[in-house]
Structure 1
Amino acid sequence: MARPATFDELAVIIDDMPERLKLFVVLAAFVGLREGEALELRRSDIDGVIGRIDITRKVDKNRMRAAPGACADCGRPITAPKTASGIRIVHAPPPFLPMLQKHLLEHTAPGPTGLLFPGDRSDHMSARYLMDRYRPARDKAGRPDLTVHHLRHTALTIAGQHGATAAELQARAGHASQTAMAIYQHASLDRDRSLADRIGDTYAAWQASQRAD
């Protein structure tokens, strides 16, 4: 497993990505979404005011058009997360809410079912399109080893550094055991939002230090 990205490296990557994909890096590196989960997010899954994100589906980039349930436009099926624990609610850290709100206004397909990251024809964005733009950004940050999956690993590392319990980490990641999920559910969604707030406070302090320099 590659070492987690630093805030400095993430800032370079985000800055170098096209406007329509900056939020993708944030959702992977600070929230911990899987690639397929992010690419299947719809406008109705997002509360831009508080940064709430409902994850109930994913797009499977590895399955062919003929698969049951395939998306007619893109040839990739939309499925439920791999396990029941993959269906979850997470929150974006507050410093990223302006980016999220701007993305909803300028880059999300229209209508409640509009994709958060549409392709050129308002179908699903292809993994190749994403990687063709992500690869130069990570290289510019000096992290050619950093895959999209490693961004998710970074998000969970950051969450752990900010006091998330094992159960909360597993639930935020969406791969918790049933026992861990039961423990987390007692903590309530307020705990996930509080965790996002703490991550946001650290990131905001880092931003302030960069401006001071």
Structure 2
Amino acid sequence: MPSKRRFGRVRKLPSGRWQARYLGPDGIDRPAPETFSNKTDATIWLADQEAELRVGDWRDPAAGETLLGEYASTWIEERPGLRPRTVELYESLLRLHIAPSLGRLPLREVTAPRVRTWRADLLAADVGPVTVAKAYRLLKAVMATAADDDIIRRNPCRIPGAGVEPIAERPTATLPEVFALADAVGERYRALVLVATFTGLRFGEAMGLRRKHIDLEARTLRVEVVVTEIGGQQVEGPPKSGAGVRTVTLPAAVVPDLRRHLDDFAQPGQEGRVFVGPKGATPRRSNWHVLWSKATIKVGVEGLHFHDLRHTGNTMAAATGASLRELMTRMGHGSTRAALIYQHASQDRDRAIADALDVVLDKHHQAAKQARTPNRSGTQRARNAQTKRGDGRPSAGTNR
């Protein structure tokens, strides 16, 4: 016979174990998920449920039975504003790195110790630390939503620093190397290398440029469209953050190269694409990578990524004395501090950065010009001076 209690009921089963159950706030009679070896343990469990109801901390036990894999899949589908490439990344992380170990577990069983073991197993299996950090961040975001939905009490992802990607220091190119690479990729793509370096545009941002986005008189480029590749298809869309939509000023020294490119290679009309291949199509990353790799080998900087040109230009811009906020604006970087997203450098200051880059470029060109000029002896210079005067007398200041 069940014992009569102020809250819930306990009873001894024919097996000798004890069962506890209570009427939930939703009107459903809810038994404990397991039986107990004695009446005291069953009573303690009921007291815990009563306390949760009293303080408003009660959760539907059935919700916690939802499998992590199913919940995470729904989370990705319902996440607002995700770019197609981000959806593809999340689905891949879930399928390859989260679901195999945790996907069949009910949400309530995804505990902090299990999360630590899962992460350690990934690292032990030689999964790249960057991939592990991304997978951990995804799991943490999913479980945070589960906590917000009152399915679980607390997010089990609490490993300090586990979601931080280790970033290896990337190399930068020197100015001679930048111009050598511009020559090595050929005339069709010379301007692409210079634009990527001295404006900091990403590959997808450069591919999204159309003639209407370029004002050579004002020396500006407007970044509004990004070309990404999803499942082998090229997709156009806005930059992934508000900071990515920006106007960048060109150094004056790059304008002639871009002007020649627009005359010789870009598609016609305001909607014409700026960078296209020989057959008029937008270059794909895979095809461009082949050409770029050959150029780096030719120049002697094998292993330099195209994206490293962006790092190169950013480093040069920083050397001009640009502030952190100005660099963030020029490069289209967001910030962990929301306030900085809405603070933009003025166009005049951005032009000053470009002008300062021009000084650097001018020094490079002067040094290259002097390097091409033959070194003449002092005697030869004196003879040349006599020849120009035509009187055969040595010039003033020479020894007789």
What TM-score does the superposition give when structure 2 sets the normalisation length? 0.49
Aligned to 2:326: 168
Partners of 1:88 and 1:30 in 2: how far apart?
A: 15
Letter in structure 1 aligned against 2:340: A
1:141 aligns with 2:269: no
CA contact 1:18–1:133 (8 Å) conserved in 2:
no
Q: Which residue of 2 aligns with 1:4?
A: 172
3-state SS of 2:307 partner = helix
Residue type at the aligned position of 1:32: G
- Counterpart of 2:353 in structure 1 is 195
> Of the candidates 367, 373, 379, which is equivalent to residue 209 of structure 1?
367
What is the CA-CA distance between 1:176 and the residue it aligns to? 2.7
Q: Percent identity, aligned pairs only?
A: 31
Q: Is 1:64 equivalent to 2:231 in the alignment?
A: yes
Write the distance in 2 (CA, Å) between the matches of 1:212 and 1:168. 34
Structure 1 residue 181: Cα displacement: 4.0
Name which of 171, 185, 188 aligns with 1:17: 185
Which runs of 5 or more residues in structure 1 are unaligned?
66-74
> Which residue in the other structure is 1:179 paired with?
339
For residues 127-181 of structure 1, the C-alpha deviation after alignment (integer angstroms, 9 at most, x for no partner) is: 2232222111111222112101111111111110111100011111101324234
In the TM superposition, 1:118-157 aligns within 5 A as: 118-157=276-315
SS in 1 for 2:281: coil
CA contact (8 A) 1:159 1:195 kept: yes
1:114 paired with 2:272, answer: yes
Partner of residue 195, structure 2? 27
1:76 maps to 2:243: no
After superposing the two structures, state which structure 1 stretch, 169-178 or 26-35, moved more.
169-178
Letter in 2 for 1:84: G
Give the match's secondary structure for 2:198.
helix
In structure 1, how many angstroms separate the alpha carbons of the residues matched to 2:322 and 2:307? 20
CA distance in 2, matches of 1:50, 1:209: 28
Partner Cα distance (1:38, 1:196) in 2: 18
User: Cα offset for 1:50?
Assistant: 2.9
2:250 aligned residue: 92
Q: Partners of 1:129 and 1:108 in 2: how far apart? A: 18
Q: Is the contact between residue 51 and residue 97 of structure 1 (CA under 8 Å) also seen in structure 2?
A: yes
Aligned to 1:72: none
List gaps (5 residues or longer) in structure 2. Answer: 1-168, 372-400
Equivalent residue pairs, number: 201
C-alpha distance in structure 2 between counterparts of 1:175 and 1:2, whole Å: 17
Counterpart-to-counterpart distance in 2, 1:17 and 1:120: 13
Shift of 1:123: 2.9
How far does residue 204 in structure 1 lie from its aligned partner after superposition?
1.2
RMSD across aligned positions (CA)? 1.4
AA at the equivalent of 1:38: A
Distance (Å, rounded) in 1 between the aligned partners of 2:349 and 2:173: 24
Aligned to 1:76, the other structure's residue is in SS state strand
Counterpart of 2:113 in structure 1 is: none
Q: Which amino acid aligns with 2:367?
A: S
Any idea what SS the aligned residue of 1:152 has? helix
Give the corresponding residue for 2:212.
44
In 1, the alpha carbon distance for the partners of 2:283 and 2:257 equals 19
Separation (CA, whole Å) in 2 of partners of 1:100 and 1:21:
10
Counterpart CA distance in 1 for 2:219 and 2:289 is 26
Q: TM-score, normalised by structure 1?
A: 0.89
Residues 80-128 of structure 1, C-alpha deviations (whole Å, 9 max, x = no match)? 0010000000011111110011111111011111111113443311222
State the distance in 1 between where 2:369 and 2:191 align. Answer: 21
Cα distance in 2 between the residues matched to 1:200 and 1:139: 28
Query: Conserved in 1, the CA contact under 8 Å of 2:322 and 2:353?
Result: yes
Between the aligned partners of 2:255 and 2:194, the Cα distance in structure 1 is: 11
Task: Provide the C-alpha distance between the structure 1 equivalents of 2:236 and 2:209, rounded to a whole number of angstroms.
Answer: 11
